[in-house]
Each structure stands twice: as C-alpha cells, then as structure tokens.
C-alpha cells in the first residue's frame, strides 16, 4: 500500500487534474442543459402544441445521435432485445415528454422540475414490486416524505385546495420515467449506457411520429424564437447532454454521478427566473424541498 503522502502526490498529478477537469466539464454540459429544458419547453409552448414540441425535439436529436453512432461505430440493438427497448423508449421518452409538455402548459418550469424529482421515489416502489428490491424503514419514511412534498407542489400550483391538472400530467410523466427504469435495469449490463440511451431515443421518436400531421405548418407560422427554443432542446438537453452523461457513467460509479442530479431543480428554478421571469409559488418551493429530502432518504439510506 502506498504511503499517504505518495497517494496525495498522485491525486495532484497532471493526469488526475485533467480527469477532474473533464468530469466538471461533463457535469456542466449535462446538468445545465437538462435543467434549462423545463424553461425551454415553456418557451416553445407559446407557439407549438405539446406533442409537436416532443416530436420535433426528438426528430432532431435522433438525427444527431444517428450521425454520432455512425461516426463512432455504435452497434445496433439485438432483435431479441427490442421487446424491452421499445417499451422503455415509449415510457421513458414518448409518454414522459408528452406528459411533461402537457403539464407545463399550466405548471411553471421550476415546479415541473421539482415534481420530476420524485421519479427516483416511484422507481424505488416499482423496484420493490417487480424486482424484489427491498427497502428499509427509512426508505419507506423517505417515500412518505416525498409524497407529502409532491402534494404541496401540486396544491401550490393550483392555487386552491385541489391538484393542478398540469401537476397530475407531470406526475404521470414521472411514473412513466420510473417504469422505464425497470425495463432498463436488466439491460444496462449488456449495453453501454450511451448505446442504450440512443436506442431508447430512437424508439421513443418512432412512437411520436403519429403526431407529425400539422407540424410543418406550425414550423412555418411559429415565431423564430420559439422554433429556436425547440432546436436548442433537441441539440443540447437531448443529444449533447446525453452523450456527456453516458461518458460520466462510463468513468464514475453510478451513485456518485447520480447524486449531482439533485442540483437540477435548483438550476431549473434559477434558469426559469432568468429566461422566463417566473418563480414557483412558496408552497411549491417548500414542497420541493420536502420532496428532495425524501428522495435523498430513499436513495442514500434505503438499500
């Protein structure tokens, strides 16, 4: 075993510093675009229907990722794996983004990001039901805390003692994303995270194609700034951020990388304030804080 002084010297080596710099760059390229996507959707909704936003965003992302796959020699999925990849793409891409887009018609970008933060909690429940992934007492406590936070957000966005319709759509999207993770779990040992993500995006785009009618007319009549918002969504939060995230997963332990995802709601609220001038209501912010506490309890201490 190396002496402590020698280990410290190695950690300060140029190679270690270079790797740390690359990691920080990859985190920025992942987290900032993903956080900004909530505001980007709200901006695009000014002229585009929710389904058209999802379709145009993923058509562009699919084309970019196909080019990337050809240039890097990525392999196509095995035919026998399509019964898993297709449902994963439908749940994690098609339904998730349709639900998120419909929800953001009435829910602020920051509150939407806080509701989506409940996805790991739903994933833990699905894993318990279908994968026999056991939860400790603190895990169940975390789930209870998170649901209380989600209720505060949903009530806060409605402004009344009832759930906002948009919040319900986003909760359905979070459920869909969590269900998609169950399909992915058994196949991430077989496929590189980047490969599997590309396959999911392509399959999710396939299920969005029925919404194509009317899209060309919308593009022609929409203001340039809203169309540019969709172009931004397709290039940065979808294609480039996905590649950066896959690189992080290939170089670092999944729990270490996933811990940074808790930053997304904070960044999303700040970006929505700068981009759109909107801030979630106080009950939504309180509910978001409660939800994140519950998510941390479930993911850091539950298993």
Task: Report the pLDDT value the prediction gives residue 19, as an integer from 0 to 100.
Answer: 72
Which has more confidence, 3 or 276? Answer: 276
pLDDT at 222 over 70: yes
User: Where residue 302 falls among pLDDT bands split at 50, 70, 90?
Assistant: very low
Task: Report the pLDDT value the prediction gives residue 216, as an integer from 0 to 100.
Answer: 94
Where do the domains of the chain lie?
37-70+79-301
Mean pLDDT within 67-94? 87
Measure the CA–CA gap between 219 and 226, rounded to whole angstroms: 9
Q: What is the DSSP string of 48-117?
A: S-HHHHHHHHHHHHHHHHHHHHHHHTPPPPPGGGHHHHHHHHIIIIIIHHHHHHHHTTTS-HHHHHHHHT
**Which pTM was predicted?**
0.82
Mean pLDDT within 70-82? 83
The two three-digit tokens of residue 123, written as one number: 């994933």
Mean pLDDT within 266-272? 86
What sign results for the dihedral spanned by CA atoms 170, 173, 179, 180? Answer: negative
The terminus-to-terminus CA distance of the chain in angstroms comes to: 31
The two three-digit tokens of residue 136, written as one number: 């400790």
pLDDT digits (tens, 9 = 90+) for 137-184: 776 677 777 777 777 776 665 555 456 788 889 989 989 988 887 777
User: Where residue 7 falls among pLDDT bands split at 50, 70, 90?
Assistant: very low
* High-pLDDT (> 90) share of the chain, %: 33
Measure the CA–CA gap between 302 and 246, rounded to whole angstroms: 25
Task: Report the pLDDT value the prediction gives residue 158, as an integer from 0 to 100.
Answer: 54
Measure the CA–CA gap between 300 and 234, rounded to whole angstroms: 32
Mean pLDDT within 244-252? 73
Mean pLDDT within 184-203? 79
pLDDT at 210 over 70: yes
Measure the CA–CA gap between 158 and 191, rounded to whole angstroms: 42
Within 10 A of 74 (CB to CB), how many other CB atoms are there? 16
Measure the CA–CA gap between 292 and 27, rounded to whole angstroms: 20
Mean pLDDT within 34-46? 94
Task: Report the pLDDT value the prediction gives residue 113, as an integer from 0 to 100.
Answer: 83
CB 61 within 8 A of CB 238: yes
Tell the burial category of 137 from Cβ atoms under 10 Å away from its Cβ (0-12, 13-18, 19+).
exposed
């Amino acid at each position: 075993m190396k002496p402590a002084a020698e280990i410290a010297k190695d950690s300060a080596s140029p190679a270690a510093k270079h790797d740390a710099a690359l990691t920080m760059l990859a985190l920025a390229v992942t987290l900032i675009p993903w956080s900004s996507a909530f505001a980007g959707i709200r901006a695009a909704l000014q002229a585009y229907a929710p389904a058209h936003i999802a379709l145009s965003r993923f058509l562009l992302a699919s084309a970019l990722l196909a080019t990337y796959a050809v240039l890097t020699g990525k392999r196509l999925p095995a035919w026998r794996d399509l019964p898993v990849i297709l449902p994963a793409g439908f749940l994690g891409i098609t339904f998730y983004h349709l639900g998120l887009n419909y929800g953001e018609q009435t829910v602020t970008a920051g509150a939407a990001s806080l509701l989506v933060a409940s996805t790991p909690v739903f994933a833990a429940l699905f894993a318990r039901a279908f994968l026999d992934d056991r939860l400790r007492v603190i895990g169940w406590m975390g789930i209870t805390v998170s649901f209380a936070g989600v209720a505060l957000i949903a009530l806060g966005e409605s402004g009344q003692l009832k759930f906002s319709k948009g919040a319900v759509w986003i909760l359905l999207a979070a459920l869909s994303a969590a269900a998609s993770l169950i399909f992915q779990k058994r196949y991430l040992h077989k496929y590189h995270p980047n490969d599997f993500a590309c396959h999911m995006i392509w399959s999710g785009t396939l299920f969005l194609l029925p919404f194509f009618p009317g899209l060309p007319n919308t593009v022609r009549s929409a203001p340039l700034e809203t169309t540019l918002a969709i172009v931004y969504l397709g290039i940065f939060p979808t294609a480039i951020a996905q590649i950066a995230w896959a690189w992080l997963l290939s170089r670092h332990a999944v729990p270490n990388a996933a811990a940074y995802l808790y930053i997304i709601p904070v960044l999303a609220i700040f970006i929505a304030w700068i981009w759109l001038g909107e801030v979630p209501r106080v009950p939504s912010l309180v509910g978001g804080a409660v939800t994140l506490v519950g998510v941390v309890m479930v993911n850091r201490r539950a298993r």
